[in-house]
Amino acid sequence: MIEVRQLRFAVATADAQNFSRAAEALRIKQSTLSRRIAALEARLGIKLFERSTRGAIPTEQGKAFLSVARRILTDIDNLQTTARAVSYGEEGRIAVGFSASLMAGNMRATIGEYMGRHPDIQFDGIEADPERMLSDLKARIIDVALMPSDAHDAGISRRSAWSERLLVALPKDHQLAKSDRLHWSDFRRQVFVLPSQGVGSAMARILQRRLSDQGYRANLIMQDTSLESVLSTVPFGRYITLATEASIGVHWPELTFAEIIDQGGAARLDYAFYWREDNDNPALKRFFELISERYPA
**86 domain residue, yes or no:** no
**169 domain residue, yes or no:** yes
My answer on whether 155 and 274 are in the same domain is yes
My answer on whether 190 and 253 are in the same domain is yes
- Entry pTM: 0.65
| Number of domains comprising the chain | 3
Give tens-digit pLDDT for 168-186. Answer: 999 999 999 998 889 999 9
We report the CATH number of the domain holding residue 57 as 1.10.10.10
Last residue of a domain, one of 55, 81, 107: 81
Give tens-digit pLDDT for 217-238. Answer: 999 999 988 888 999 999 999 9
* pLDDT tens per residue across all 297 residues of the chain: 788 899 999 999 999 999 999 999 899 999 999 999 999 999 999 999 999 888 899 999 999 999 899 989 888 887 776 665 554 435 688 999 987 665 567 888 899 999 999 988 888 888 888 888 888 998 899 999 998 877 778 889 999 999 889 999 999 999 999 988 899 999 999 999 999 877 888 899 999 999 999 899 999 999 988 888 999 999 999 999 999 887 776 788 999 999 999 988 999 999 999 999 999 999 999 999 999 999 987
My answer on whether 193 and 260 are in the same domain is yes
My answer on whether 64 and 207 are in the same domain is no
The number of C-alpha atoms within 13 Å of 97 and in the hemisphere containing its C-beta is: 27
**145 domain residue, yes or no:** yes
Residue 250 belongs to what domain range?
Answer: 165-268
Q: Assign 3-class secondary structure to 175-193.
A: HHHHCCEEEHHHHCCCEEE
Report the phi/psi class of residue 121: left, alpha or beta, with left for phi > 0 and alpha for psi in -120 to 50.
beta
We report the CATH number of the domain holding residue 216 as 3.40.190.10
My answer on whether 290 and 146 are in the same domain is yes
